[in-house]
Amino acid sequence: MNKFYKLFWSLLSITFLVLNTCDDNPINGDNVKPGRRDYTWTVDTLFMPFNSFTDITGTSPTDVWACGPGGDLDKTFYHYDGQNWNCDFISRPISPFSIFSSTINSVWSCGLQARIWKYNGNVWSEQFNILTSIDTLVALQKIFVISEKSIYAVGQYLVSTEYWGIVLYYDGDTWNELNISKIRTAFADIEKSENGKIYLWGVTNEQFTESRYQFYELDGDILKEIYSGSQSTDAEYGSLLQLGTKTYFIIGYDFYYYNGNTFSKVGRLSDDPKFRNIAWGRSTKDIFLGMRDGIAHYNGENTVYLYQTPNNVFVRAGMVFENEVFFIGRDSYGNNLMFHGKLND
Number of structural domains found in the chain: 1
CB atoms inside a 10 Å sphere around CB 335: 17
Strand order in the sheet with 85-86: 55-60, 63-67, 77-80, 85-86
Give the predicted TM-score (pTM) of the model: 0.91
Query: Where does residue 14 rank: exposed (0-12), middle (13-18), buried (19+ CB within 10 A)?
Result: buried
Identify the weakest region by mean pLDDT among 13-22, 50-59, 250-259.
13-22
Residue 161, domain CATH: 2.130.10.10
- Give the integer Cα–Cα distance in Å for 56 and 251: 23
Percent above pLDDT 70 for the chain: 90
Residue range of the domain that includes 247: 2-343
For residue range 79-92, list pLDDT tens digits in order.
999 999 999 999 99
Average pLDDT score over residue span 111-140: 94
Asked whether residue 237 carries a pLDDT value surpassing 60, the answer given is: yes
User: Considering the chain, what is the average pLDDT of its residues?
Assistant: 90
pLDDT tens digits for 137-150?
999 999 999 999 99
Mean per-residue pLDDT, 175-203: 94
What pLDDT was estimated at residue 29?
52
Mean pLDDT of 283-304: 97
Task: Say yes or no to pLDDT of 165 above 70.
Answer: yes
Q: In this structure, are residues 42 and 59 in contact, taking their beta carbons and an 8 Å threshold?
A: no
pLDDT at 1: 41
Residue in 293, 233, 283 with CA at minimum distance from that of residue 255: 283
pLDDT recorded at residue 20 = 33
CA–CA dist 269, 287 (Å, integer): 8
Q: Is 135 exposed, middle or buried (0-12, 13-18, 19+ CB in 10 A)?
A: exposed
Mean pLDDT in residue range 225-248? 91
